[in-house]
Every structure is written in structure tokens, then in C-alpha cells.
Amino acid sequence: MNDIDMTMGERIKKIRREKGLTQRQLGEMVDAGNAQCYIWTLEKGHRGVKSTRMSALKKVAKALDVSVAWLLTGRKDSLEPQSALYVPVIEWHDIREWKYDKRDTMDLTECEQIPHFSVSSNANVFSVRIENSNVNSPFRTGDIIIIDPGLEIEQDKFVIAARDEDSKPDLYIYSKLKNSLFPADGSEIVNINDETIIYGVVVASHRKFI
């Protein structure tokens, strides 16, 4: 299996073994509490630890003498983290606050961050994790989708939107021809009107990001 087809955990395990390091040794190099268990959790792809924070990934990358970009993508020619926009993974119920500039009051210090390798410099870009997927959606449960509120919606693009202020945000496909939003879960179609809220356009997704 090549590097690109591996998960991030598999890439960490591969380089760790190539360097002759045990899980405990690598964990101690990155100052992780319960060192062996921490690296084991990273390599297995389990959630529930602070493995997705950029500070942790940078320590692991430095210890293994690789780039954070390679850990995330497996591509040696990927942009380095300094060229990436780090995007917070927020909760679905926080999307409305993000839309209305209340993000400055949100505590993002403990928020998961992922890199978005894009020419976009929009500081309002955010991401959410897919909670419940279905056969009609290209996204799986657990995938992280990145949303840019500054882009104009286009035909067949995925968007995060809501029927009105009282409705919760959801994932839709935009139809310019019918001026409607088709829900990814196959539920009721939303006809766009003055009450419809478009929170942003999906510009990328992270699969197998642990």
C-alpha cells in the first residue's frame, strides 16, 4: 500500500517502525501522557484523544522527521502547514453563531483544528463532522467537511443551509434551475426564499482523518 492510500495512523506506524522506535519511545519524544497508549491510539485511529490538534501533530511530525502535510495526506509534495489555513471543527449547533459573527466570543482554544490546503484566505471558513450519513450522500459518518461562507453557490454544489432561522442547519445540494435545496438525507426539499439561510459552500472534505 502506498503512502497516499494509508490512514494517518498507518503512516505514523510505518515511519516509527522504519526508525526503530517503540510506541513508548515515540510517545515520550512528544511529551505525551501515558506515552505508549497515546501513540497506540493515534496509530489505531481511535477518537477521544487530542490527536487531531495541530500542536500534537507538529510534535509527532518533528519526532519522525516528516512534515505535518505528509502525515495528513501522504503526499511528499504537499504544501507545508505554514501554507495552510487551519480551520476549526465546530459543532452543528454553533454554525448559526459562526454565521452571525459571534465566533469571536466562542472558545476555540480546545477546538479541533484541521488544515485546509487552499488559496482561500477567508478567515470565516469552518468545518463540521458528518454525524449521520446515508446512501445518497458522498460523505460518510465521521467525515469532516470544510465550508466557505464567502463563496457564491453554484449548480450541484453541496451547501450548509437552513429553511429559516428556526430550523437547524443541514447539508443540501443546490439546484439553480429549480432554485431549490435538495437535502442529502433525502428529506423534504427546500424552495429558496427570503427566509432561507445559506451558511456556506462545501469546498473540501477529510476522510479517514483521525
pLDDT by residue for the chain (210 residues), tens only, comes to 777 778 888 888 999 999 999 988 988 888 877 777 878 888 876 544 433 466 777 888 888 988 877 887 777 654 444 445 678 888 898 898 887 766 666 666 666 777 665 545 566 888 998 887 766 678 888 888 889 998 888 899 999 999 999 999 999 999 988 899 998 877 789 999 999 999 999 988 876 443
Residues 95 and 54 in one domain: no
Residues 151 and 112 in one domain: yes
Asked whether the beta carbons of 175 and 181 are under 8 A apart, the reply is: yes
| DSSP letter string, 175-198 | ETTTTEEEETTS---EE--TT-EE
Helix (H, G, I), strand (E, B) or coil at 172: strand
Would you give the end-to-end CA distance of the chain in angstroms? 19
Last-in-domain residue among 50, 74, 98? 74
Asked whether the beta carbons of 174 and 204 are under 8 A apart, the reply is: no
Which residues span the domain enclosing 167?
A: 85-206
Residue with cell 497508549: 37
Give domain status of residue 80, yes or no.
no
Centre a 10 Å sphere on the Cβ of residue 192 and count the other Cβ atoms it contains: 18
Give domain status of residue 53, yes or no.
yes
Residues 23 and 46 in one domain: yes
User: Residue 168 belongs to a domain with what CATH number?
Assistant: 2.10.109.10
Give domain status of residue 150, yes or no.
yes
Q: Please state the three-class secondary structure of 80-108 as a single string.
A: CHHHCEEEEECCHHHHHHHHCCHHHHCCC
- How many separate domains does the chain show? 2
Residues 90 and 174 in one domain: yes
Asked whether the beta carbons of 151 and 201 are under 8 A apart, the reply is: yes
Give domain status of residue 79, yes or no.
no
Residues 70 and 112 in one domain: no
Conformation bin of residue 208: beta by default, left when phi > 0, alpha when psi is -120 to 50? left
The model's pLDDT over 59-100, given as tens digits with 9 standing for 90+, comes to 888 889 888 778 877 776 544 444 456 788 888 988 988 877
